Amino acid sequence: MTRKEIERLPVSGLEVTEVKIYPFDTTGIGGNVKAVATVKINDILEIRDIKIIYSNEGYFIQMPSRRTRSGEFVPIVNPLHRDLLRHIRRKVLDEYNRIVEKYNEKLREFTAGS
């Protein structure tokens, strides 16, 4: 079993049961956020505003945070178990890649038909 396959497995009974991706590409204004995601865990907990970010090392996610009065960002949601964070990351990035591939396929169909 590969590392990616292991990361897709539930962790201690917690599993991402739904992922919604909202494309939000900030490249045009100098940003590196590609999308925002919402996940449901076991259909009882929803986490919103997970950012999908692209860097030189590839894609990663950033859990929701807020800015304090001093300007520091503090996490709102912080998975304490590393495997749970990996599981969330894998599910979010898998869905993001699926959405991007679907978009690229439609774009190829559109440009081929023109």
pLDDT value for 8:
83
Tally of domains in the chain = 1
What would the pLDDT profile of 20-74 be if each residue is shown by its tens digit?
A: 999 988 888 888 999 999 999 999 999 999 999 999 999 999 999 999 999 999 9
User: 83 pLDDT band (50/70/90 cuts)?
Assistant: very high
Q: Provide the residue range defining the domain that includes 104.
A: 3-113
Q: Could you read off the pLDDT of 89-108 as tens digits, one per residue?
A: 999 999 999 999 998 888 88
Say which amino acid occupies 102: K
| C-alpha distances out from residue 44 to 15, 19, 28, 38, Å | 10, 13, 36, 13
Task: Name the nearest CA neighbour of 35 among 18, 23, 48, 47.
Answer: 23
Structural contact between residues 44 and 36, judged by C-beta atoms closer than 8 angstroms: no
CB 87 within 8 A of CB 9: yes
Which CATH number characterizes residue 107's domain? 3.30.1120.40
Q: How far apart are CA 83 and CA 8, in angstroms?
A: 10
Indicate the pLDDT class of residue 114, thresholds 50, 70 and 90. Answer: low
For residue 25, the model assigns a pLDDT of 80
